[in-house]
Structure 1
Amino acid sequence: MRNLPINQNLNLLIFLTLIPLLTIGCPGGGGGGGGAAFALMGLGGGGGGDVPAPKLEVLYEGVSRESGSTLDIGSEPVNTADGKTGTITIKNSGTAAITLSGSPNIVTLSGTDASQFSVTQPATSSLAAGASAIFTINFKPTGVAGTRSATIKMNSSDPAVGSFQLNLTGEAGVGVFRLGVSVSATQISSNGSFAMGSVEEQSVGTPVTFTVRNTGSFVVNLDSPAVTSSNARFIVNQTSFTGSLAIGQSKTFTIGFSPLVSGAEESNIAILYDGAASFLYKVTATATVKPVPTISISHNSSSFTTGGSIPNFGVVWPPEVAGAKTVTITNSGTATMTGISISKLGTDPDQFTVSAFSAGTSLAPGASGTFTIQFVPTLHGEKNAIVRVQTANGSNGSASSSDLAVVGTGRTGVDVLVTWSATNEKAVNDTDGGYNVCYSKTSNFTAVPIANSIFCVAVPNVGGNTPTSKTISVPSYGTWYFKVYSYGKYNTTGGLPSTQVSVVVPQS
């Protein structure tokens, strides 16, 4: 026999192997005889695919459970308020929808201790491919300690597991004292902790309400006091948290956080009952820096926040006004500054004017405003006053007050030299006679003094000397007219005056 190539040998082997698979003869029955042939799908040119089918899968604590297996739900003391609950997931791991049949309940409960177990029902009786539903099992034993058992069943359209069964077991323990502590939906475990959030320093936060429920097997008698806190900044209000708690009963108390300084703080909380028992946990909170306003006062880039003397206004002719000095108030803090006021006091407050503060009575954080001080003398001489700046909270949240000392001088006069020609009618050694130097801001005046209008000064001859000049101090600036009259023993009216005009400016 001729040897074939290796690939031809392989093809022949496959062909010979497939022959008995492709055609299977079956003997006929009765008079019919004839064999039935089963074609192997998916080979050669024929074709098809897997038929979609549902597949029921049951999981507890993430582990898949087989029908007929035993599910141990664990231990629970007898006569507790809530019992012990576990969650079971029903999942369709197949490729077609699955139906969970059963009426009125999809999941049924039976067995020796069925009354000490309970189940909730799945929310739906139909699961699409890949979908799932849950139900819960609750174990709440009564009586004496020992093992409890029951059975749960469910029917489905899974052709492989039409009826699914789990055998339940649980251990009933002796009765216990037990409390459950929560804030809204958040449960706090024994020796656990609860974060109360943040509160501004030097303020009182909104109290947090803690609910205590008796989840144990016996009545709980609360101690007095029933709640203690290891940190005085965590303030417990337990007015209504007194007396006893029946099984399943709840009562509340509150804890408020009132920090003095910023930073994290904590407190150990103990709920005390029946003389010796306790439920312990910790509360934590953070005190944040309290936003406060901070005043800053300045003039010409110099600080006057704590007060001080504003530079001298100098000499000013009444009733002129000195140049205004601008004072700036800034809120360099982090909260609004309020109650801003500016007032005058001291020796001569009426000789100064203070404008209104440009920002009103408050300043936002980082904002500034200004006011001006002017010297407006109506009197001669040095004048002093205090400008006081006050706020309700400018000293980092507390009231502030700063005094600005101001000073200016009202000018009393300027010396003007008045000269004239000698017109004496007597001998040089005659002491009788002399001159009247009269002056006024009115050009046409006579030598008759009028208060605050016409002024006259006598310049007598002394020792026979005839004076020809006199220094006069005028009381205000402006144009002054001077007239000099000579007089004598026999001519007291005097002769014709000599005249002089002098202009005195405010800066003289």
Structure 2
Amino acid sequence: MTPSSITFGSVPVGTTQTLSATLTNSGGSNLTISQAIVNGSDFAISGLTMPLTLVAGQSVVANVSFSPPSGGTDSGSISLAFVVSSPGHNGKGHGGSSANATTSSTVTVPVSGTGIMAGQLVATPASVSLGNVQVGTSQTQPVTITNSGTTSITVSQASVTGTGFSVNGLTLPLTLAAGQGQGFSVSFAPQVAGTVTGSVTIASDATNPSLSIALSATGVTPGSLVSNPSSLSFGNVQTGTSQTLSVTLTNSGGTTVNISQTAASGSGYSVSGLSLPLSLAAGQSKSFSVKFAPQTSGSISGNVAITSDASNPSLNIPLSGSGVTPGTLADSPSSLSFGTVLVGNNSSLQETLTNTGGSSVTISQANVSGSGFSVSGLSLPATLAAGQSTNFNVTFAPQSSGAVSASVSLVSNASNSTLKITLSGTGATPGVLSASAQTLSFGSVQVNSSTTQSETLTNTGGTTITVSHANVSGSGFSISGLSLPLTLIAGQSFTFGATFAPTTGGSASGTISLTSDASNSTLTISLSGTGTVLGQLSISPSALDFGSVVVGQSGNLTAKLSATGSNVTVSSASTTSSEFKLSGVSFPFTITAGQSTPVTVTFTPQSSGTASGTIAFA
């Protein structure tokens, strides 16, 4: 085998180098190569088809290759096993031909080579992410390319894709010896917001002839600070108290905002819940509180100023509020008097509540004490703004008679937390009209004369009544002393007169009908009486003549007393002369109308001469 040893020298790792070797049969006999044995995994032989027979003097070319997988010196050998055939011969003493003779042999050729690392380009970092870069500014990141192989390489070109990306600090062509590096920078200068990707592609004669470095970045708008709400109105806040409202700060831009300072101006305003310095990433929010604690009444304005490195470095949040005096609840009227209300009926009175203070008042409860009282028209809780009023009704519906006192207690958050309205009323039974006599009997009354009796009216109920009419029926009856309308309070009485004045004889009846608003709306008083004609007494004869009567003796004459018209009662009789005496009757006596009674008159003269006299009946 020629050459007798094969040396490959330096061969780049990952490549294959092939050398030729000539195999020659330099003997006089044929030989057959049966096997090629390679010692060393990085070496190989090719171009031979086994078994291969070479006649004497014949040559063949084989290829020997070296493929180093790694750097470093490597050695081995290639051994060829062959057999030489020698023909038989007719030598003396052998008496004829003999068979061919064979001889086995091996030829070995040493091989060697060195694997070397070819030039290879690597980038550190392998990709570049520039993150968020504010529009109108630029961001730069260093990149190093290094020849990690053992042979020099030449960088011929660097191309950049992606809007806004650029490469600086790389002068081409550039030769890098084994292990040598070169730094350069990649810059991103966005003109619009949004994510951008690109690459830096480096062309060289390295084993990786095109090295691509991925690029990414995001163009962002500048950080901007906004507040929600943009202003705070606290409305009316009672002096000595406080109200707190929340504000949210948001970075509406694309880059981080750093808040360095907050300042609250205006009496009574303060800020809490914001620890500084504070960084807000793009889109991030932070809430804090603003408190208004007025010490005096009146409108107060203020401001929260927030200082940061945002595009709006000073953010102002206007503040407004009013300190107000505490709400005060006033009632009108301060007490309610229902007077007298009939049991079973009801009476309602209106009450007005007014917030006379400077802040709203919330009424939470209305508590009523006292039997028969109730509240309506007040829906709770009820809120009254400063100066506002509301009306409601209080009703008194007594279930029994008698005076009742009570109160409505209104509970609120006013400075006078409990307002009490006093209530009073009297439950009363209905008025009742009664008469001292339900019947008036006048007896007998002479015609054309009159007699009067007293009648007393009394209100025996619990409420005032009014007598409006008095109607009298029946001939000869009348009333006097009753002026209408007549009002009688509970328990009060009034006396008037009832008269019977008959104009004809005979029995008479009638009524007095009194109309009022009492529970017994009509009171009737019965009347009765009898008209009588005046009796007439007559005597017959009307004169008595005794003639002559001896002195010392007596003479009797009889007369008849008669009654006409009506009965006549004779109660006495008198004479004008003692010489005349009346006998035969006892006083008093009554002569029925149309009847007569005899009487005897005796004349007893005491002296001579004419005597005269009269008898008078009463």
* Range class of TM-score, shorter chain: 0.3 to 0.5
Q: Larger RCO: Structure 1 or Structure 2 (Cα < 8 Å, ≥ 6 residues apart)?
A: 1
Normalising by the residue count of structure 1, what TM-score does the alignment of the two structures yield? Answer: 0.34
Normalising by the residue count of structure 2, what TM-score does the alignment of the two structures yield? Answer: 0.29
